[in-house]
Structure 1
Amino acid sequence: MAKRSRAQPQLHNLQLILNTADPSSEPVKHGDWRDEFDAKGYVVLKNVVPKERALYYRQKMLDWLGSFDNGFNINDRSTWTEENLPWSFKNGMYLNYCAAHEKYVWDAKQEPGVLDAFAKIWGTDELIASYDTVNITLPNAAEMGGTKPWPHVDQAPERNGMHCVQGFINMSEAGPKDGGLVVMEGSAPLFEKFFKEFPPDRTKGPLAALHYDFYPFQDEDLKWYEARGCKIVKVCAEPGDLVLWDSRQMHYAVYPETDLIRTVIYTCYTPAAWISPEDLENKKEIFHKWEATTHWPHINIHSHGKHMIDGELDPLERAEPLEKPEITDKLEKLAGLKPY
Structure 2
Amino acid sequence: MSATQIQTYTTTKEDPGLLKLYQNAAATQFGDWRDDFFKNGYAVIKNVIMPEKAKSYQDRALDWLLSFDLGLDLKDTSTWNQKHLPKSFKSMYHSYCSGHEKFMWDARTEPGILKIYEDLWGTKELVVSFDGFNIGLPKRTDVEGTPWPHCDQAPSRKGLACAQGFLNLAPSGPKDGGLLLMKGSAPLFEEFFSEPREMFTPPGGGPPKDFLDLFLFKQEHLDWFRDRGCELIKVDCGPGDFVIWDSRTMHYAAFPEGEEIRTVFYICYTPRAFGEQEQMDLKARLFETYRGTTHWPHCNIRTSEPLMVDGKLDPMERLEPLEKPERTDLILKLAAVKAW
**Same fold by TM-score greater than 0.5:** yes
Distance change >3 Å, CA 276–CA 199, structure 1 → 2: same
Instruction: Write out per-residue CA displacement over residues 206-241 of structure 1, whole angstroms, 9 at most, x where no aligned residue.
Output: 488356100011111111101111001100000000
Instruction: Write out per-residue CA displacement over residues 308-328 of structure 1, whole angstroms, 9 at most, x where no aligned residue.
Output: 112211111111111111110
In 1, Cα distance between the equivalents of 2:164 and 2:22?
A: 22
| Residue of structure 2 equivalent to 1:187 | 185
1:23–1:160 contact (8 Å) kept in structure 2: no
In 1, Cα distance between the equivalents of 2:152 and 2:244?
A: 13
1:23 deviates by 11
| Residue of structure 1 equivalent to 2:160 | 162
Letter in 1 for 2:271: P
Distance change >3 Å, CA 101–CA 19, structure 1 → 2: closer
| Residue of structure 2 equivalent to 1:248 | 248
2:173–2:236 contact (8 Å) kept in structure 1: yes
Flag structure 1 segments of 5+ consecutive residues without an equivalent: 1-8
SS of the equivalent of 2:117 reads helix
Letter in 2 for 1:126: E
Distance change >3 Å, CA 67–CA 14, structure 1 → 2: closer
Instruction: Write out per-residue CA displacement over residues 35-64 of structure 1, whole angstroms, 9 at most, x where no aligned residue.
Output: 111000000000001111111001001111
Summarize the alignment of residues 1-340 of structure 1 with structure 2, pairs less than 5 Å apart: 13=5, 16-17=8-9, 25-27=23-25, 28-90=28-90, 92-141=91-140, 143-199=141-197, 206=206, 209-210=209-210, 212-340=212-340
SS of the equivalent of 1:196 reads coil
Instruction: Write out per-residue CA displacement over residues 66-108 of structure 1, whole angstroms, 9 at most, x where no aligned residue.
Output: 0111211222222222011100001x10110111011011101
1:24 deviates by 10
Instruction: Write out per-residue CA displacement over residues 156-175 of structure 1, whole angstroms, 9 at most, x where no aligned residue.
Output: 00001010000000000000
1:100–1:292 contact (8 Å) kept in structure 2: yes
SS of the equivalent of 1:245 reads strand
| Residue of structure 2 equivalent to 1:5 | none
SS of the equivalent of 1:63 reads helix
Letter in 1 for 2:36: E
1:33 deviates by 1.3
In 2, Cα distance between the equivalents of 1:326 and 1:57?
A: 17
In 1, Cα distance between the equivalents of 2:208 and 2:24?
A: 32
1:70–1:84 contact (8 Å) kept in structure 2: yes
Kindly report the root-mean-square deviation, in angstroms, between the aligned alpha carbons of the 2 structures. Answer: 2.5
2:117–2:269 contact (8 Å) kept in structure 1: yes
In 2, Cα distance between the equivalents of 1:164 and 1:280?
A: 16
In 2, Cα distance between the equivalents of 1:18 and 1:318?
A: 35
Letter in 2 for 1:301: I
1:22–1:161 contact (8 Å) kept in structure 2: no
In 2, Cα distance between the equivalents of 1:15 and 1:55?
A: 40
Letter in 2 for 1:215: F
1:129–1:297 contact (8 Å) kept in structure 2: yes
Letter in 2 for 1:77: T
Letter in 2 for 1:164: C
Identity of aligned residues (%): 48
- Of the structure 1 ranges 310-319 and 107-116, higher mean CA displacement relative to structure 2 is found in 310-319
Letter in 2 for 1:33: W
In 2, Cα distance between the equivalents of 1:271 and 1:19?
A: 10
In 1, Cα distance between the equivalents of 2:22 and 2:300?
A: 26
In 1, Cα distance between the equivalents of 2:302 and 2:24?
A: 34
Letter in 1 for 2:269: Y
Distance change >3 Å, CA 243–CA 201, structure 1 → 2: closer
1:147 deviates by 3.5
In 2, Cα distance between the equivalents of 1:61 and 1:79?
A: 18
In 2, Cα distance between the equivalents of 1:160 and 1:211?
A: 17
In 2, Cα distance between the equivalents of 1:51 and 1:206?
A: 39
1:178–1:262 contact (8 Å) kept in structure 2: yes
1:25 deviates by 4.3
1:306 deviates by 1.7
Instruction: Write out per-residue CA displacement over residues 264-301 of structure 1, whole angstroms, 9 at most, x where no aligned residue.
Output: 00000000111111111111121122111110000100
In 2, Cα distance between the equivalents of 1:71 and 1:210?
A: 38
Letter in 2 for 1:154: D
Instruction: Write out per-residue CA displacement over residues 100-153 of structure 1, whole angstroms, 9 at most, x where no aligned residue.
Output: 011011101111100000000101011000000010010034x22214101000
In 1, Cα distance between the equivalents of 2:127 and 2:286?
A: 14
Flag structure 2 segments of 5+ consecutive residues without an equivalent: 13-18
Letter in 1 for 2:187: P
